[in-house]
């Protein structure tokens, strides 16, 4: 991978103690906000359940005084949970809250290290600054003029504009709380090991055996080949031709192949030789005569991914 000094993607590069550099993908607001909403929903649900249980148990046990004590305990729990929920979870769940785990994101320090308890608490306390500016219910006065007009202005509806604004200014999608404690949020998902692209076309290995044996694919070309063969199954035939032409034409000249060789097939063959094997498997079926068909036939193109219906060495 290129050692990119200028960040152009939403990725950060982390150098581990093992002296390995690897990349993380940063999580933007549209992944982090749902995580926050999930957390709020979890918090509210847990709180309502707890409140009911507390009230029932205490009222049953202590009659009249129970409700008052329950209300008190409930308020303290509400205070602690709103200010400490994120901090405690991120400390003990290794940088994740339940919402973050569902959304597959994790908090790290800017160096890619795990966060400590102080950072976790701090970035969650400072979330309040990110919710600014708070707007009052009067802001929506036009929607329901009758109710809003006679209420005192209470600024409690968060807009998260400060956080959003700071995120856009920061290279690493950091909100104010992240900036203050030096943390980032990264995407941590498993993705499937795709491995080598399957070449369903038996003619690719065939053609591979015609390529000169002493030709060594340079690294950058190898990358291009791998990317192309990975992606080609999403391309239409015409698009394949268009893309493959750029590398195919000079290669045909180089290998002195017939000029009507399919560029796409040539790239597949080169891919096969570079990444899969040098040898042509002896037991592989001999090339079948080309089906006389329309290469643009959408049905056939759709049924077998990765098969070019052009004639073996021709463009059909």
Partner 1 sequence: MKVAELLEKRRQNWQELERLCEQLQNRRKKNIPAAELSRFASLYRAACADLALADSYQLPSNTIEYLHRLVGRAHNQLYRSRSFDFASWTETLFVHVPQRIFRDACVHVAFFVFWLVFILSAVFAYANSSFPGYAEFLLDDATTTQLETNFADPLNGRDPAADFTMACFYIKHNTGIGLKCFVACIGVVPGLFTLLFNAAHLGACFGYMARPDVEAGRNFFQFVTAHGPFELTAIVLSAGAGLRIGMGWIKTNGLTRLDSLRKTAKETLPVMGAACAMFFFAALIEGFVSPSAAPYWFKASVAVLTSGLLMFYFVVLGFPRGAREL
Q: Which of residues 196-255 bind partner 1 (CB under 8 A)?
A: 196-197, 217, 219, 222-223, 226-227, 229-230
The answer to whether 22 contacts partner 1 (rule: CB under 8 A) is yes
Closest contact distance (angstroms) between CB of 100 and partner 1 is 12
Residue selected from 33, 47, 51, 128 as contacting partner 1 according to rule CB under 8 A: 128
Closest contact distance (angstroms) between CB of 49 and partner 1 is 19
87 with 118: CB under 8 angstroms? no
Q: Which residue has the tokens 């009067």?
A: 138
Residue 268: asked if its preceding bond is cis (omega within 30°), the reply is no
CA distances from 246 to 7, 48, 249, 314 (A): 28, 63, 6, 17
Closest contact distance (angstroms) between CB of 302 and partner 1 is 23
Closest contact distance (angstroms) between CB of 99 and partner 1 is 16
The answer to whether 192 contacts partner 1 (rule: CB under 8 A) is yes
Q: Which residue has the tokens 């009911």?
A: 52
Closest contact distance (angstroms) between CB of 311 and partner 1 is 27
Between CA 8 and CA 278 the distance in angstroms is: 37
The answer to whether 75 contacts partner 1 (rule: CB under 8 A) is yes
Closest contact distance (angstroms) between CB of 96 and partner 1 is 9
CA distances from 244 to 34, 75, 271 (A): 41, 67, 12
In the three-class reduction of DSSP (H, G, I as helix; E, B as strand; rest coil), residue 135 is classed as: strand
The answer to whether 182 contacts partner 1 (rule: CB under 8 A) is yes
List all residues 6 or more positions away from 168 whose beta carbon is below 8 Å from its beta carbon.
none
- Among 177, 8, 190, 32, smallest CA distance to 96 is for 32
Phi, psi of 307 (to 5 degrees): -105, 130
Which residues are paired to 135 by β-bridges?
157
Residue selected from 33, 139, 235, 275 as contacting partner 1 according to rule CB under 8 A: 275
Taking the least distance from each CB to partner 1, the nearer of 195 and 213 is: 195
CA distances from 312 to 201, 276, 291 (A): 9, 20, 10
The answer to whether 105 contacts partner 1 (rule: CB under 8 A) is no
Residue selected from 26, 27, 108, 204 as contacting partner 1 according to rule CB under 8 A: 108
Task: Name the segment binding partner 1 (CB under 8 A); options: 190-198, 262-270, 289-297, 306-314.
Answer: 190-198
The answer to whether 180 contacts partner 1 (rule: CB under 8 A) is yes
Which residues, numbered 135-174, are part of the site for partner 1 (CB under 8 A)? none
Phi, psi of 13 (to 5 degrees): -105, 130
Residue selected from 38, 73, 161, 243 as contacting partner 1 according to rule CB under 8 A: 73
């Amino acid at each position: 991978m290129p050692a990119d000094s200028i960040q152009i993607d939403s990725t950060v590069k982390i150098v581990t103690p093992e002296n390995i550099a690897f990349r993380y993908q940063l999580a933007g607001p549209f992944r982090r906000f749902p995580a926050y909403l999930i957390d709020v929903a979890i918090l509210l649900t847990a709180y309502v359940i707890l409140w009911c249980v507390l009230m029932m148990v205490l009222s049953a046990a202590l009659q009249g005084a129970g409700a008052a004590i329950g209300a008190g305990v409930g308020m303290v729990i509400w205070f602690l949970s709103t200010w400490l929920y994120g901090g405690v979870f991120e400390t003990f769940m290794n940088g994740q809250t339940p919402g973050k785990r569902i959304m597959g994101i994790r908090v790290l320090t800017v160096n890619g290290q795990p966060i400590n308890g102080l950072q976790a608490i701090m970035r969650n306390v400072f979330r309040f600054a990110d919710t600014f500016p708070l707007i009052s219910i009067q802001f929506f006065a036009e929607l329901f003029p009758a109710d809003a007009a006679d209420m005192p202005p209470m600024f409690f509806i968060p807009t998260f504009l400060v956080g959003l604004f700071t995120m856009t200014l920061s290279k690493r999608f950091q909100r104010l709380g992240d900036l203050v404690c030096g943390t980032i949020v990264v995407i941590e998902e498993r993705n499937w090991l795709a491995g080598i692209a399957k070449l369903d076309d038996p003619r690719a290995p065939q053609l591979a055996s015609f390529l000169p044996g002493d030709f060594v694919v340079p690294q950058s070309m190898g990358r291009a080949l791998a990317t192309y063969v990975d992606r080609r199954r999403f391309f239409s035939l015409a698009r394949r031709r268009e893309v493959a032409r750029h590398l195919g034409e000079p290669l045909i000249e180089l290998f002195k192949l017939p000029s009507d060789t399919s560029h796409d097939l040539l790239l597949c063959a080169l891919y096969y030789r570079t990444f899969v094997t040098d040898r042509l498997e002896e037991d592989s079926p001999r090339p079948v005569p080309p089906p006389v068909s329309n290469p643009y036939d959408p049905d056939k193109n759709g049924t077998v991914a990765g098969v070019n219906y052009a004639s073996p060495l021709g463009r059909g």
